[in-house]
């Protein structure tokens, strides 16, 4: 029988196999597509005319990006992975930080024209907050359902937007805070730190 | 020579006691681990394979305490494990999956390709080494699981229901492979199939309700089946049921005496 692939040393290299086992190529592609959609949406909404039109972009793009990152935390062979010689926390940390860094580098490209409100800092803040929530959800619910709580949160915030906007927002409404600095950043950074730490220590909950 | 020493092992899953102060030791050879459903076989295998931490007790393996992170890492390099259900990555070929597991066990990169091919050939899948795992039959997937367990030529090997899904010819070949592995390694095989134990194992350990119910050889278990009052279609099955009954009766007597 003719082999489908040869014993190419690249295909049996551990880090490459790890990346493929976590569907990282697909994840990176999905992050790039999310960025392109966000750029298109920001342009289509004529957001340069009114910064408030950026809200759907700075709320939904981080939601999609964090969902993609959260799903990539799934492992199909959890039981065998546990017999790995090296502790997993280093790989988990590198995995989460690399994808979060990529998302925080790509998504702000969609809101570069807005510098005062809902600009790149707000996008980065929202990516961090949403990813932190997703990482925590991966620990509790498993990676495949990790998008669910952040989806619920963003939906609730987005649907309740009229009642929330204007004046100082409470800490839990960090997603919609138009300005940079203050409690919104503190909340988002805390969520990333706590969610990320929980994931790095415990890993995603095993699910079929 | 003892390679695995278990002392006072206790495993609890919420309110259920899976292993109750178990003391065991194993040396090189093939050890059959028998017991009814829920006896604690998988709990024992998972603790020994270092994937689950016990609630209490101590396990020393290959001279290392697996409760100590350094000792555990050292053991994992020389350990093979086939769980009842192992997940695999749909896009992976047999070669890639076994190589990935070799990488997790930190095998030298230069040795890995040859070791992968050896392990896959050993389970009779050399002609399918570059096939995607998702295209294989259930029995073949099981053999992929065995290949990943032996890729690092382990000194201790834990196999949980390894023959599930294998056809009779494959089971015969698998028993032959077990005998080969047992010549140099300590192999612990959890199974419901007593005929596999009779054919391939050098020792038998029977556990029930988290406790040791019987230890001996396949011959001694078979002999028990010819003398004691057990049920089954062949002597070793009768020996198995007789040993289990005897354990339950003595446990009941102990319980009454304790009240």
* Shortest Cα distance, chain B CAs vs residue A1, angstroms: 6
pLDDT score of B202: 92
Q: Which ipTM score applies to this complex?
A: 0.87
- Going by C-alpha positions, the residue among A122, A138, A136, A131 that lies closest to residue A175 is A122
pLDDT score of A3: 45
CB pair distance less than 8 Å for B50 and A83 = yes
What range defines the domain where residue A100 resides? 14-202
- Chain A residues inside the 8 Å CB shell of B79: 83
Q: Considering only alpha carbons, which residue of chain A is nearest residue B72?
A: A85
pLDDT beyond 50 at B15: yes
pLDDT band at A43 (very low <50, low <70, confident <90, very high): confident
pLDDT band at A130 (very low <50, low <70, confident <90, very high): very high
Check residue B199 and report its DSSP letter. Answer: H
pLDDT beyond 70 at A49: no
Lowest mean pLDDT among A2-16, A188-202, B40-54: A2-16
The predicted-structure confidence for A156-195, as pLDDT tens digits, reads as follows 887 776 566 556 667 788 888 877 668 888 999 999 999 9
Q: For chain A, what percent of residues have pLDDT higher than 70?
A: 84
Give the mean pLDDT of A9-25. Answer: 83
B89 in A contact zone (CB under 8 Å) = yes
In the block, residue with structure tokens 């700075």: A58
Report yes or no on A72 lying in a domain.
yes
Q: Which residues of A touch B (CB under 8 A)?
A: 1, 3-7, 9, 11-14, 17-18, 20-21, 75-87
Q: Considering only alpha carbons, which residue of chain A is nearest residue B74?
A: A85
Q: What is the CATH class of B1-78+157-213?
A: alpha beta
Angle at A163 between CA A39 and CA A177, to 5 degrees: 45
Report yes or no on A179 lying in a domain.
yes
* Shortest Cα distance, chain A CAs vs residue B219, angstroms: 34
- Chain B residues inside the 8 Å CB shell of A4: 93, 130-132
Nearest CB to A17 within list B87, B96, B127 = B96
Report yes or no on A2 lying in a domain.
no
Q: Considering only alpha carbons, which residue of chain B is nearest residue A8?
A: B113
User: What are the tokens at A179?
Assistant: 């300005």
CA distance B211 to B205: 11
Phi/psi-derived region of residue A160, left when phi > 0, alpha when psi is between -120 and 50, beta in every other case: alpha
Question: What would the 3-class secondary structure string for chain A be?
Answer: CCCCCCCCCCCCCHHHHHHHHCCHHHHHHHHHHHHHHHHHHHHHCCCCCCHHHHHHHHHHHHHHHHHHHHHCCCCCCHHHHCCCCCCCHHHHHHHHHHHHHHHHHHHHHHHCCCCCCCCHHHHHHHHHHHHHHHHHHHHHHCHHHCHHHHHHHHHHHHHCHHHHCCCCCCHHHHHHCCCCCCHHHHHHHHHHHHHHHHHHHHCCCCCC
Tell me how many domains chain A contains: 1
- Going by C-alpha positions, the residue among B95, B99, B116, B92 that lies closest to residue A14 is B99
| Exposed/middle/buried for residue B100 (C-beta within 10 Å: 0-12, 13-18, 19+) | buried
CB pair distance less than 8 Å for A12 and B93 = no
pLDDT beyond 50 at B13: yes
CB pair distance less than 8 Å for B73 and A86 = yes
pLDDT score of A4: 47
CB pair distance less than 8 Å for B86 and A81 = no
What does the domain layout of chain B look like in residue ranges? 1-78+157-213, 83-153
Report yes or no on A5 lying in a domain.
no
Report yes or no on A130 lying in a domain.
yes
* Shortest Cα distance, chain B CAs vs residue A102, angstroms: 24
Phi/psi-derived region of residue B40, left when phi > 0, alpha when psi is between -120 and 50, beta in every other case: left
- Going by C-alpha positions, the residue among B72, B37, B71 that lies closest to residue B52 is B72
pLDDT beyond 70 at A9: no
Average pLDDT, chain B: 91
The B residues from 187 to 216 touching A (CB cutoff 8 Å) are none
CB A66, CB A131: distance < 8 Å? yes
Nearest CB to A17 within list B81, B103, B117 = B103
User: What are the tokens at B181?
Assistant: 């592995």
* Shortest Cα distance, chain A CAs vs residue B200, angstroms: 25
The three-state secondary structure class of B141 is: helix
- Chain B residues inside the 8 Å CB shell of A77: 86-89
């Amino acid at each position: 029988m003719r082999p489908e692939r040869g014993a190419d040393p690249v295909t049996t290299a551990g880090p490459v196999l790890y990346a493929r086992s976590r569907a990282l190529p697909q994840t990176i592609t999905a992050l790039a597509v999310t960025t392109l959609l966000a750029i298109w949406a920001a342009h289509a909404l004529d957001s340069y005319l009114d910064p408030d039109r950026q809200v759907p972009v700075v709320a939904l793009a981080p939601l999609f990006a964090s969902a993609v990152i959260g799903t990539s935390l799934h492992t199909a062979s959890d039981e065998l992975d546990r017999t790995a010689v090296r502790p997993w926390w280093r790989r988990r940390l590198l995995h989460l930080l690399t994808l979060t860094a990529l998302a925080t580098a790509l998504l702000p490209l969609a809101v570069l024209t807005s510098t005062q409100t809902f600009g790149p800092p707000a996008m980065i803040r929202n990516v961090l907050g949403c990813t932190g929530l997703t990482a925590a959800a991966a620990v509790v619910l498993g990676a495949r359902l990790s998008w669910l709580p952040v989806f619920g949160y963003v939906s609730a915030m987005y649907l309740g937007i009229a009642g929330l906007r204007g004046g100082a927002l409470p800490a839990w409404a960090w997603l919609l805070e138009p300005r940079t600095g203050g409690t919104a950043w503190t909340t988002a950074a805390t969520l990333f730190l706590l969610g990320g730490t929980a994931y790095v220590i415990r890993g995603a909950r095993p699910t079929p | 020579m003892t390679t695995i020493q278990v002392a006072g092992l206790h495993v609890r899953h919420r309110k259920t006691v899976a292993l109750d102060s178990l003391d065991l030791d194993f040396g090189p050879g093939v050890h059959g681990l028998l017991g009814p459903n829920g006896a604690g076989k998988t709990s024992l295998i998972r603790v020994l394979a270092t994937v689950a931490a016990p609630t209490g007790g101590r396990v020393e393996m290959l001279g290392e305490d697996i409760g100590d992170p350094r000792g555990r890492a050292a053991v994992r390099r020389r350990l093979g494990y086939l769980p009842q259900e192992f997940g695999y990555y749909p896009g992976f070929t047999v070669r890639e999956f076994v190589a990935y597991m070799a990488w997790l066990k930190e095998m030298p990169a230069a040795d890995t390709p040859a070791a992968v091919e050896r392990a896959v050939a050993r389970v009779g899948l050399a002609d399918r080494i570059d096939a995607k795992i998702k295209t294989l039959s259930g029995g073949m997937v099981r053999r992929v699981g065995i290949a990943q367990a032996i890729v690092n030529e382990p000194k201790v090997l834990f196999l949980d229901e390894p023959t599930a899904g294998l056809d009779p010819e494959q089971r015969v070949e698998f028993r032959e492979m077990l005998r080969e592995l047992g010549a140099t390694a300590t192999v612990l095989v959890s199974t419901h199939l007593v005929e596999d134990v009779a054919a391939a194992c050098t020792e038998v350990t029977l556990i029930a309700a988290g406790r040791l119910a019987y230890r001996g050889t396949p011959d001694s278990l078979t002999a028990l089946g010819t003398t004691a009052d057990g049920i089954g279609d062949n002597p070793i099955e009768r020996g198995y049921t007789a040993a289990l009954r005897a354990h339950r009766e003595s446990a009941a007597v102990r319980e009454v005496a304790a009240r």
